[in-house]
């Protein structure tokens, strides 16, 4: 069964590119163009993964996405993908599971994300 991912970015080109790349790895992909759009989708559907940009409606809109994703009954892995470096002292307390810089090798980033997902899935099954 493919992982369900929600990709969030206000740049349509970035969003299309990410969607295409994630689909090459058999992710079932939904997209959102803003933090508000993402929050609405998070309230409607469960996801295994949320990848969000940070700066959208505001400088810290991505943290809103992180917070809402972590309120789910089965919280997804949440990754911040940003053009601007964010210290771990900021994204970890917000609840994100990882932070990657845009412009990095997307397939390497995707490899790292898949490792996080598999670890998260293993932790869920041992917790039950």
Helix (H) or strand (E) holding 5: strand 4-8
Q: Give the number of other Cβ atoms within 10 Å of residue 9's Cβ.
A: 27
Domains (range + CATH), the chain: 4-127 (3.40.50.2300)
Q: Which parts of the chain fold into alpha helices (H)?
A: 12-24, 35-44, 61-69, 88-94, 106-127
What is the spatial distance between Cα 42 and Cα 31, in angstroms, rounded to a whole number?
11
What is the spatial distance between Cα 100 and Cα 93, in angstroms, rounded to a whole number?
16
pLDDT digits 0-9 by tens, 67-94: 999 999 999 999 999 998 898 999 999 9
Provide the pLDDT confidence category of residue 124 given band limits of 50, 70 and 90.
Answer: low
pLDDT digits 0-9 by tens, 16-63: 999 999 999 999 999 999 999 999 999 999 999 999 999 999 999 999
Q: Residue 126: is its pLDDT beyond 90?
A: no
């Amino acid at each position: 069964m493919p992982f369900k991912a929600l990709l969030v970015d206000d740049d349509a080109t970035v969003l299309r590119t990410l969607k295409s790349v994630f689909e090459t790895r058999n992710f079932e992909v939904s997209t959102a163009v803003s933090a508000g759009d993402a929050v609405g989708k998070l309230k409607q559907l469960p996801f295994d993964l949320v990848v969000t940009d940070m700066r959208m409606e505001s400088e810290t809109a991505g943290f809103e996405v992180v917070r809402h994703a972590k309120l789910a009954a089965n919280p997804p892995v949440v990754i911040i993908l940003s053009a601007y470096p964010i210290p771990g002292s900021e994204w970890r307390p917000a609840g994100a599971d990882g932070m990657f810089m845009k412009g990095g090798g997307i397939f390497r980033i995707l490899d790292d994300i898949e490792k996080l997902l598999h670890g998260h899935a293993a932790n869920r099954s041992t917790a039950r």
